[in-house]
A and B are shown apart, each in its own frame.
Chain A
Amino acid sequence: MRLFKFRGGVHPDGHKQASANKAIESLPIPEYLYVPVQQHIGAPAEPEVCVGENILKGQLLAHSQGNVSAPVHAPTSGVVHAIENHTAPHPSGLPVKTIVIKSDGEDRWINTVTPIDPFQLSAEEISIRVGAAGVVGMGGATFPSAVKLNLRNRYSIHTLVINAAECEPYLTCDDRLMRERGQQVVDGIRIIQHALGAEKVIVGIEDNKSIALAEMTASAANYDDITITKVPTRYPMGSEKHLIQTVTGKEVPARALSADIGIIVHNVATAHAVHRAVRYGRPLVSRIVTVSGDAIREPRNLEVLIGTRVSELVAYCGGYKESPSRLLMGGPMMGQTLPRDEVPIVKGASGIIALSTQQVAEQLARPCIRCASCVTACPCGLLPLEMASRSKKGDFQGALDYGLMDCVACGSCAYVCPSNIPLVQYFNYAKGELTNKQRTQHKATETKRLAEQRIARLEREKQAKAEAAAKRKAQKAAERAAKAAAKEPAKGKSEIAQNTSGQTAEKEISA
């Protein structure tokens, strides 16, 4: 298959050998599980259970609300121990509503399911099943998958691209998934393809995963419309826009969706979750997590229940070699720092990476020397140095004019910067400030619009009242005139009648 090149990109050290050859292990069921109701982009789910209630594995804990949302399910059987605020796996460390489950250790499913043939289902039914199972984008974006499947209603989708690039250093969870469960992944891919009505599927796997590549090629051998493609190992190959460009040569127009050009991208782990959800009716209650980094004693790939605390994963991997200077959820290029290891694993947690002080040698940011390494590295064709200098001095409009909103925050620029300038931080800051400004502006215009509407309404009411009064007056006057005319028809003196009616009208008003 012909591949296309995207501009820029970087080659960070892979560090994948630490965990690439470790088979997926199931983490023993922990005593307590902390299931946040917000694990996805969109509205948080609303709890359905109460404290003290006995629950079974797979039982709905909180239902989705709104168009973009996802439900959460019980990862194991046990008792609802508490519903309280708990630190979320987010750099802010702010608490979110969390359902705490005390497990009974039996791991009993709520139901036994007989496998069904997904290809007998309509597209509608598949997306309902995927939505009900709480499946979200598992590459880290955590966008509700059912919403993406429903895009077929508005767009005609010809190509499904499966993102199996796994371009982040350290992460090997997708690699292991493809090596060990290739058949299931391919089944999930075919279900998504069926739901979208896409003519062809392209699975992009970076060329540093030759075993996964071979396994997937074998698993998909019977399906002519699925192409397993080896893509070069170059960060950010796993960026939706750049993977599309690499395997199709097309670019997603700015401010448009990939669906606008007939392409939809799903992550390979999402395909696996879809396979379980649709074929077996199993909700998303576990995921594969790579635990690695040079501060971890024995890096591993673990299949863990959603809600398991990070500290339990670390303990299973032999604990810390040394106190980590940074603990990450996701990879080191785009992952988030965790405030501490008591936070739970969520649906989008592809990796837990603990880095030593040595690995993240804190460097002071120096002045920009305009070397333009960032310009060379930027896969989006932006001028990061110009955007950063403008963001730094608060000229957010200037940063916007340089294409701030076209930035995918991949971090390639900051990775290569010889001056260690935290470019992504500047961009996030500028994006946040711009959003705030927009919100304020929107609020102001809305307030103005409502105020104007009110004035107009009052004006209309006043006018309507006046009109009604005038109308009533005229009507009454006419009635009287008619009466008067009826009483004195013999006289035939219309002048008198007019005078009388004029007087009564005056009386009416003064009364």
Chain B
Amino acid sequence: MNTLTAQAAPHTHGANSVSRIMLIVILTLVPATGWGVYQFGWPALNVLVLCVASALLAEAACLRLANKPVGLFLKDGSAILTAWLLAMTLPPWTPWWIAVFGGTFAIVVGKQIFGGIGQNVFNPAMLARVALLVSFPMEMTFWVEPKPLFSAGAPNFMEGLAITFLGVPSLDSVSSASIIGHVKTGFTQGHSVADSLASGQFDIFAQGLGTVAGSMGETSALLIGLGGLVLLALRIITWHIPVAMLGTVALLATLCNLIAPELYPNALFHLLSGGLMLGAFFIATDLVTSPSTRVGQLIFGAGCGALVFVIRSWGSFPEGVGFAVLLMNAATPLIDHYVRPRIYGRNRKGEPLAIKENNERGAS
């Protein structure tokens, strides 16, 4: 037989791969995305396609510039996932250039500048979303009431293209605030939460199912949560970040609501509105930018949750998931530096365990 080359053990490998992880995450987003496209019509699909296409183009260009194998890295699916997550957080009727700018920015500035996959400090999708929100606040807060596909008054395919590429014909007729923005505005104008909710018609079922104004990833908390459960079941993510994040928001909301119910909405409102579900299961759990250890992930999740609540309640933006995740991303290296698992045979400080019984016999 031929001489075989030496290889380091192990000589067998589990079934996991980067592309498998990315594919599963994308698949778990499909139900919520499908529902979103149904709710908001063809323009929503256009936004998704534009985001993904621009991200792939940007990725290919960067890889080529860096002399890396383009096909190999494009096929890992990470650029598609980033763009997909970004599209889930954009207003469904947003103009084409927002989507293209966002997709490109996420890949170039959010990922490739750091050195490509695995090297980025910040979640690329959230970085792009926040950059868009700060730069184009008008376009980024333009929400529409759901107009399900093929229903009366919903744009057909050609009208959808027109909305995406030429702009919305009559802004005022379709514009609407998301419930979370509505409560925020009410808060700054001195209205109580109950008033705002009443006028904004907060409906738990509508909010949970997603038949309300918002982005694709914001509206159906139920479908996003289900996708998250699938990720948990397949062990793509662990429970630590989502539970810590949702738990912290729920805890803080309940506390504040008990103290001053007229100023602070209850926990259910927080959990079901905005991008919290998407953030907890799909954004904060991003493998690259979250801590490596279980305890670190709990700290990270709790930090995200606390920041979301703080920004929602007292910040100048109605929604805080993007900012919260980015801030905690910045803290991840610090958390990873200080929070490490206990090594076998050593205590938490890293010193060898004491040999309890004086077992060594005298020299004999």
Binding site for B on A (CB under 8 A): 6-7, 10, 12-13, 91-93, 153-156, 169, 241-242, 245, 251-256, 259-262, 320, 323-328, 332-341, 353, 355, 359-361, 363-364, 366-373, 375-376, 378-383, 385-386, 403, 406, 409, 411, 414-420, 422, 424-425, 428
Give the chain A neighbours of B350 by CB distance below 8 A: 403
Inter-subunit contact A428/B8 (CB<8 Å): yes
Inter-subunit contact B361/A383 (CB<8 Å): no
The answer, yes or no, to whether B152 is at the interface (CB within 8 Å) is no
- Would A332 and B12 be within 8 Å (CB), given that A256-B345, A418-B21 are in contact? yes
Give the chain A neighbours of B17 by CB distance below 8 A: 363, 418-420
What is the bound-complex CA distance between A338 and B9, given in angstroms?
Answer: 12
What is the bound-complex CA distance between A381 and B295, given in angstroms?
Answer: 13
The answer, yes or no, to whether B3 is at the interface (CB within 8 Å) is yes
Q: Closest B residue to A15 by CB, please name it.
A: B12
Instruction: List the one stretch of B115-123, B202-210, B222-230, B305-313 in contact with chain A.
Output: B115-123
- Find residues 1-54 in chain B having any chain A CB closer than 8 Å to their own CB: 1-14, 16-18, 20-21
Inter-subunit contact B6/A92 (CB<8 Å): yes
Inter-subunit contact A155/B16 (CB<8 Å): no
Give the chain A neighbours of B117 by CB distance below 8 A: 366-367, 369
- Find residues 311-364 in chain B having any chain A CB closer than 8 Å to their own CB: 336, 340-346, 350, 352-357, 359-361, 363-364
Inter-subunit contact A368/B364 (CB<8 Å): no
The answer, yes or no, to whether B133 is at the interface (CB within 8 Å) is no
- Would A360 and B361 be within 8 Å (CB), given that A253-B345, A370-B288, A406-B344 are in contact? no
Inter-subunit contact B355/A256 (CB<8 Å): yes
- The distance from the CB of A167 to the nearest CB of chain B, in whole angstroms, is 12
- Find residues 93-139 in chain B having any chain A CB closer than 8 Å to their own CB: 116-119
The contact sample of 20 A-B pairs, CB cut-off 8 A, is A91-B7, A241-B344, A241-B345, A253-B346, A254-B343, A254-B345, A259-B359, A260-B359, A261-B355, A262-B359, A326-B11, A334-B10, A339-B3, A359-B12, A369-B78, A370-B287, A381-B346, A382-B343, A403-B346, A420-B13
- Would A12 and B14 be within 8 Å (CB), given that A325-B4, A340-B3, A368-B118 are in contact? yes
* Residue of B20, B119, B342 touching A381 (CB-CB under 8 A): B342
- Would A91 and B6 be within 8 Å (CB), given that A155-B360, A369-B287 are in contact? yes
The answer, yes or no, to whether B156 is at the interface (CB within 8 Å) is no
Give the chain A neighbours of B353 by CB distance below 8 A: 251, 253-254
Inter-subunit contact B364/A154 (CB<8 Å): yes
* Residue of B293, B352, B357 touching A255 (CB-CB under 8 A): B352
Give the chain A neighbours of B145 by CB distance below 8 A: none
Inter-subunit contact A254/B359 (CB<8 Å): no
Inter-subunit contact B345/A333 (CB<8 Å): no
- Would A411 and B10 be within 8 Å (CB), given that A253-B353, A340-B1 are in contact? yes
- The distance from the CB of A295 to the nearest CB of chain B, in whole angstroms, is 10
The answer, yes or no, to whether B257 is at the interface (CB within 8 Å) is no
- The distance from the CB of B39 to the nearest CB of chain A, in whole angstroms, is 32
Inter-subunit contact B343/A418 (CB<8 Å): no
* Residue of A6, A252, A403, A415 touching B13 (CB-CB under 8 A): A415
A324-B4, A332-B9, A373-B16 given; 20 more Cβ-contact pairs under 8 Å: A6-B344, A93-B6, A251-B344, A253-B355, A320-B1, A332-B11, A339-B6, A340-B1, A340-B2, A366-B76, A367-B117, A368-B118, A370-B118, A380-B344, A381-B346, A383-B340, A414-B9, A414-B13, A418-B16, A418-B18
Q: Closest A residue to B78 by CB, please name it.
A: A369
Inter-subunit contact B360/A154 (CB<8 Å): yes
- Would A327 and B4 be within 8 Å (CB), given that A255-B352, A260-B355, A372-B293 are in contact? yes
